[in-house]
Structure 1
């Protein structure tokens, strides 16, 4: 594994420290993975054979093998393997009775049951069969005992052509009949639950539509599947139950909002979840799906100050981008906002894939997207919006995979379209548009200022990975594009060649001790801006002891004071 240097300024003299990482052009070390079956009822006597049902090679950063799952009758086991190089997902199945038969057959072949008189020959060191004798010698003499080979059969294979995070969510398991297999895939364009009949190797979706479904658990009898879904609203995840036998899909929670960390009782009659919605703080709630849905709050875990801070409710909005796709966001309007105003517009963006997470979520009380937005709206009269452009998770495979080999470009289109949308709504000064973001959002902020400088006049970019060739291979190989060992193929996505296009004002922020996105990336882009004669357009604000989210000498209050001062100096106050 590669080790890269970064500098620590905590002592009298600066010291170099090292961070371990595998980057895009590094050779990925290969390793083998195995899946075995073993009869624990015979473990004490060591009579059971170790049965190998899978042997594969992991040679890609995103190769995945799921945890094997037993059928309710303990007769079958299923798992899946994703090969990143081919993009194929294989769902496999092994049948226990057939594996046991294979083990018995192996015993007979190896002469496990000795023929009459064979035992005396063995005592004298003589073997009736040289090969079998060596195997017995190994087993009896402490040498390696070879497992029985019984390969799990591929019962379904499909090509994954969606978001980079979905293969880790396939995770097949059995339905109540111990025959059909349930799994998640993006074959319909969105993450949905599918049911596989291994006998015919045929698949049918149990859920469908332009929304996402995430499996949280099932009843002990596997008849009911509990999921979270964005079916009712793109910014909300509600708990639904799927009756596997009847193939019915029904909502079980009465209140709109965002449910997370869902836990289901074995009998499927009780559901616990964290619940939040704008205007209400997050708490643990309980629902009894078998009864009339009533939301019962279990905890009361926040002081009065928190309840005062979350009383503000942003407004959700959506607009069509230039390709006819719907883009979602929320807006925080200043007091007495009118369409005849000429207010500064401040956009907050992340823009990258986050598994099942995104930014435009009901009850997301983030510092950047919620608290700072309300502060700038209430105190300084800004119109503040949060937008999820293409590239973000939670809106289907096309959106999550939008970055691949064109990182940042779809987001710029959608964000430009979003600015135009709000200008058309009225109340916005098109000459005072700012954007800010952190991590991927720091990259995206710079991308907007370099490629759409006439739309975005001001940007605050925090810890942006501007040199994708230097970032973690696990992330870049699925999100940014392919690369070859020893070849810096991702160098073409560097922001340095674009820096010369900066026209507005840019504030770069980074923690010197960041081992996620290296501080050297920000220094590289800062140098490029200086060489392009942009010294009056760019400012650098660093945390000498901070990491990826800062947390060193620059505290959150320091950070937002800097934000506020920079924005007021460059965009001015609202009307």
Structure 2
């Protein structure tokens, strides 16, 4: 027998081990498949949404679809038989009291508009009756301090309906267009010359003009004083509000100049022709102007508020220091008044005003007689004002209002680094913080009796949401929910019951019922998972924190494979939207991606899903960590997450991929272009490639305007770093995307072509917008992503 050397035997053993490992990697199986998880979501089950209560607090209504129709229908559960779920008839649905409208102080009547008519609901009788119909649609009805009177708007004017005698009083005289025809001095030189020449040539025309002017002058001199008329000219009226004492009204005037927009061509329109879809303009194209006016009924006049004296109105942002060669003019910044809030007695009013550059928010008291402003609170952020309860410029939406004492207002602020609830005494200026700690407050609301607050917070954990009750002037918060995850509470009108939309990280949303007491037990009312969905043992991700390069502890979800399936490869998922939370303990908005991560883990991959800098839920510093540099800390957090996996979970540094959509697609591109040593493969879906081409509202907050701050825009845009591509890149994009335009990836592809890059490919989806809707598109996209990772990370 021929003698075999020991080295040769060792070589064979290693070779067999490598072959066996390679075979085992590709032999890993899963109950899941891309085709299964990307099919119509109805395969998962039927889950409630849009929860609302009947006015008598006896019935819960919600959207549901047990019959698997094209869209959801309205269903109900009555408290006297919570085991029964019934479909609501069209007749009953038409008679359900809408959630909007206004209750009186004793909450036994509610006024609202329906089909343009004024409606009144009685809680005692449960009956609704129409009390007023006008030629113009009625909207925004409110009980006044004298509850026998109801204010409402119709057209561009405010009215009062007197319930006792049925009379209607028009309060304002606001008209479209201009007050009069152009006077001679208003005409252009050309038009004035043409008019004067015409009058000189045609004697009859000139004589009639003179007679008309004489008649108008006589009528004006002999007639009684007319009511004040206010003309909108080329502006739009918004947010017309009447004070509870009917002495004043406030309104916004909005003027918009046309902005240059990017059309999105639809190549598969049903007409057979290419049709341009109207889309947004690019950052820097915001030409909207907003003014706030007061209509004084007693003086019968209007005056516009002057914001030029707001403290810090001419302050320059800090980033201007990065441009020492440029002259910056200290000038009055444009502002966007959001909403006016009248005190319950109508004698005082406060307004929420923001600078258009979003670096300042002023809460001001308005002197309703003079229109003068007194600043009660100024919030300044050198990045941008945002966070829970802070609202938006132009649109309002802030958590703000008055207490019943007519002295205190409430609002939210990030002054401590987290969004908390505050009170401010408008008489003394004293400010009181009602909640405090390293957590955030969401949706605070006054109780019916105005003695308590109901609010949701992240006090237990940043990845959980619980509902609380707290005394009006502050104090101990009583936790009313206990289930780990997210508890979205919908209080019954009488505040005795809580309908809770609840989910865990591995369980979709279901409806629960609980009495509004801390010790009460929650009862599950719906159970919608299909057998096909529930038969798989969906992972509950491990919630971890790892240390970033700057010492910050970064939250993440971790999906680990079984030890015998582990292939040494890792995939990093990057959530979209930037300001969004996904490393939490409830059912993810990214449910398809969640299921894909289960599939990847079955196949041996380790998956990490990071709430990188810029994500929601972790306070002001986390939110603004990306200011002036997207692709900075938000990307380094991904890199540090990979280092954590290598050090703690035995991941091969040569087997790391990354993927994500929208903002996640942007980060994927930056990762593939600037961190080639970390990421071998990446799938960038519906990605922003150049922030100078994205919208104004989002981009200008984080990067300022490109013309003002080109440093921020350039260092944040992947297209400038495309030469760094070394790994395998998949780009996928919907061709009718009116959010992140298809143009973004077209420009990037040309850049990659010019750079001579080879290891990239593009998948196009002709019928898809930013959020895909067709199962076939989802399936095709994720088959490509899986193929990319299998071939790039596993095959030698």
TM-score by length of 1: 0.80
Q: Does 1:9 align with 2:267?
A: yes
Aligned-partner SS, 2:546: strand
Q: Does 1:350 align with 2:575?
A: yes
Aligned-partner SS, 2:555: strand
- From 555, 574, 581, the equivalent of 1:328 is 555
CA distances 1:13-71 after superposition (whole Å, capped 9, x unpaired): 76251433232232523232335577xxxxxxxx8957768566999999654433444
Q: Does 1:211 align with 2:211?
A: no
Contact residue 434 and residue 474 of structure 2 kept, 8 A: no
- From 262, 280, 290, the equivalent of 1:21 is 280
Structure 2: gaps (5+ residues):
1-258, 314-330, 392-396
Cα distance, 1:282 vs structure 2: 0.6
CA distances 1:278-320 after superposition (whole Å, capped 9, x unpaired): 3433122233334524223333344344444574311111112
- Distance 1:269-1:246 versus aligned 2 partners, 3 A rule: farther
Q: Does 1:159 align with 2:380?
A: yes
- Larger mean CA deviation between 19-28 and 8-17 belongs to 8-17
- From 293, 296, 319, the equivalent of 1:34 is 293
- Distance 1:300-1:217 versus aligned 2 partners, 3 A rule: farther
Q: Does 1:185 align with 2:416?
A: no
CA distances 1:59-104 after superposition (whole Å, capped 9, x unpaired): 9999654433444555544331111337222213358xxx5xx4xx
Which residue matches 1:391? 614
Contact residue 160 and residue 187 of structure 1 kept, 8 A: no
- Distance 1:381-1:555 versus aligned 2 partners, 3 A rule: same
Contact residue 83 and residue 89 of structure 1 kept, 8 A: yes
- Distance 1:290-1:330 versus aligned 2 partners, 3 A rule: same
Contact residue 37 and residue 51 of structure 1 kept, 8 A: yes
Which residue matches 1:288? 515
Task: Name the CA distance, whole Å, in 2 between partners of 1:302 and 1:76.
Answer: 52
Cα distance, 1:569 vs structure 2: 1.3
CA distances 1:430-481 after superposition (whole Å, capped 9, x unpaired): 1100110000110001111111110111100001111111111111111233
Task: Name the CA distance, whole Å, in 1 between partners of 2:630 and 2:546.
Answer: 22
After TM superposition, list the pairs within 5 Å mapping 1:159-308 onto structure 2: 159-161=380-382, 164-166=385-387, 167-168=390-391, 170-260=398-488, 262-266=489-493, 268-290=495-517, 292-308=519-535
Q: Does 1:567 align with 2:789?
A: yes
- Larger mean CA deviation between 63-72 and 412-421 belongs to 63-72
Aligned-partner SS, 1:437: strand
After TM superposition, list the pairs within 5 Å mapping 1:143-158 onto structure 2: 149-151=370-372, 153-158=374-379
Aligned-partner SS, 2:477: strand
Contact residue 629 and residue 712 of structure 2 kept, 8 A: no
Which residue matches 2:78? none
Q: Does 1:480 align with 2:703?
A: yes
Aligned-partner SS, 1:227: strand
TM-score by length of 2: 0.59
Structure 1: gaps (5+ residues):
39-46, 103-148
Task: Name the CA distance, whole Å, in 1 between partners of 2:746 and 2:290.
Answer: 36
Q: Does 1:372 align with 2:593?
A: no
Aligned-partner SS, 2:540: coil
Contact residue 280 and residue 307 of structure 1 kept, 8 A: no
Task: Name the CA distance, whole Å, in 1 between partners of 2:350 and 2:467.
Answer: 26
Equivalent pairs, count:
508
RMSD over equivalenced CA pairs, Å = 3.2
After TM superposition, list the pairs within 5 Å mapping 1:468-547 onto structure 2: 468-484=691-707, 490-491=713-714, 493-535=716-758, 537-547=759-769
Which residue matches 2:166? none
Cα distance, 1:557 vs structure 2: 1.9
- Distance 1:399-1:343 versus aligned 2 partners, 3 A rule: same
Task: Name the CA distance, whole Å, in 1 between partners of 2:385 and 2:360.
Answer: 13
Contact residue 359 and residue 382 of structure 2 kept, 8 A: yes
- Distance 1:291-1:474 versus aligned 2 partners, 3 A rule: closer
Task: Name the CA distance, whole Å, in 2 between partners of 1:498 and 1:487.
Answer: 15
Contact residue 567 and residue 604 of structure 2 kept, 8 A: no
Task: Name the CA distance, whole Å, in 2 between partners of 1:231 and 1:337.
Answer: 39
Task: Name the CA distance, whole Å, in 1 between partners of 2:653 and 2:334.
Answer: 43
- Larger mean CA deviation between 190-199 and 363-372 belongs to 363-372
CA distances 1:536-560 after superposition (whole Å, capped 9, x unpaired): x111111122211233695222222
Contact residue 570 and residue 655 of structure 2 kept, 8 A: yes
Task: Name the CA distance, whole Å, in 2 between partners of 1:381 and 1:258.
Answer: 30
Contact residue 423 and residue 430 of structure 1 kept, 8 A: yes
- Distance 1:443-1:81 versus aligned 2 partners, 3 A rule: same
Aligned-partner SS, 1:427: coil
Cα distance, 1:327 vs structure 2: 0.7
Which residue matches 1:68? 340
- Distance 1:488-1:322 versus aligned 2 partners, 3 A rule: closer
Contact residue 212 and residue 394 of structure 1 kept, 8 A: yes
- Distance 1:60-1:312 versus aligned 2 partners, 3 A rule: farther
- From 746, 765, 780, the equivalent of 1:558 is 780
CA distances 1:463-505 after superposition (whole Å, capped 9, x unpaired): 1111111111111111233344899983553322211111111
Which structure carries more relative contact order (alpha carbon 8 Å, separation 6+)?
1
